[in-house]
Amino acid sequence: MDRKPHILLIYTGGTIGMVKDYESGSLKAFDFNTLLKSIPELNQLDCNIDSVSFDKPLDSSNMNPEHWAKIAELIEINYSVYDGFVVLHGSDTMSYTGSALSFMLENLTKPVILTGSQLPIGDLRTDAKENLITSIQLAALQENGKAVIQEVGLYFEYKLYRANRTTKINAEHFQAFSSLNYPPLAESGVHLKVFRENIDKPKATKILKVHKKMDTNVAILKIFPGLNESVLKNVLNIPDLKALVLETYGAGNAPTEKWLLNCLKNAISCGLHIVNVTQCSGGSVIMGQYETSKELSKMQVINGKDITTEAAITKLMYLLGSNVSSKMFKTFFETSLRGEMQ
């Protein structure tokens, strides 16, 4: 009986799925049906690999919640057949997609690993092969018949991170992603090291529940010196806006000018959910640590703690799409649902 893990590759688009036509110099989409021929190293992996592609591969700049729902649905349909999933994706919005999928896939007990590359598969110095091979290897890792990784991860340049903790930090280096507030789940070197203490342990008794409704009536506003009342009022008065990620300074600080505090206070009293996240790459919001965040704390601004902006905006879409009551919204947001915050 075949006991090899079955892995499904889901190709959405992005550089990793492109090959260079050396005659014209242009890039064209890779035929994933010839994957094992093109990358014979995959035959050394002790697993069976199938693939499915979006009808039209997407540049990840065009990725949106409808596409997230499509990925989630492909996982849902194939969940009982496959032991792990590798999502091939452009790097630009990979952290958003990874964060969104972590919320959309409730009670996940199998690996969903996003990866991509900075250079196409056929390029001389490509990072695509290593990223792809190791992602599949990580998705196929099992112990006593159970997946070792049981969450949504993002693998890039020798490191597997929890996807909802990542941010793209570099457009040119192979090390394109960082997870400053949470350590890696695994690291690839001469040996593949898995840091089990960092991996989420889901309750295996619950069945997978897939949430496809994401409410996009959300916005992000970065506080900056010189932000004026007119800009702030216009953002807060966007028709149908339900939630706002407010990127503040340092540990969650904002100007203490009366007009600014009054605008935020009025918006909250009208039912707008405002989440305080830091615009720093790493670190956490600590509400009330300084005078400049005490007022925000008093007016019941939601504490984003050490969540990334990518995870904050997708968590808002998920909670709004799940019709969480206004009364419970702050409590739900401030609770770690998929290991996205401390």
Predicted pLDDT at 57: 87
Predicted pLDDT at 1: 44
Fold agreement between 6-210 and 218-333: yes
Catalytic residue among 12, 15, 115, 126: 15
3-state secondary structure of 246: strand
Separation in Å, CA 255 to CA 60, 64, 224, 274, 292: 35, 33, 9, 16, 6
Does the domain made of 218-333 have the CATH classification 3.40.50.1220?
A: no
Q: Which helix (H) or strand (E) holds 137?
A: helix 128-140
Q: Where are the domains of the chain?
A: 6-210, 218-333
Can you give 54-112 as a three-state secondary structure string? CCCCCCHHHCCHHHHHHHHHHHHHHCCCCCEEEEECCCCCHHHHHHHHHHHEECCCCCE
219 burial class (0-12, 13-18, 19+ CB within 10 angstroms)? middle
Q: What six digits make up the tokens of 262?
A: 């009054």
Ramachandran sector of residue 188 (left: φ over 0; alpha: ψ -120 to 50; beta: rest): beta
> How high is the mean pLDDT in each 10-residue block of the chain (342 residues)?
85 84 75 74 90 90 97 98 97 96 97 93 84 96 94 96 95 86 96 95 85 98 97 97 97 95 97 97 90 90 97 98 96 97 94
**Strand boundaries in the chain, DSSP class E:** 6-11, 18-20, 27-29, 48-53, 84-88, 105-106, 112-115, 142-143, 146-147, 152-156, 159-162, 167-168, 177-178, 186-188, 192-194, 209-210, 218-222, 243-248, 273-278, 302-303
Query: What type of residue is 281?
Result: S
Residue 314 appears among annotated catalytic residues: no
Residue found under tokens 């990725």:
63
Note whether 223 and 246 are within 8 A (CB).
yes
What pTM value is reported for the model?
0.94
Predicted pLDDT at 264: 97
Fold that domain 6-210 belongs to in CATH: Rossmann fold (3.40.50)
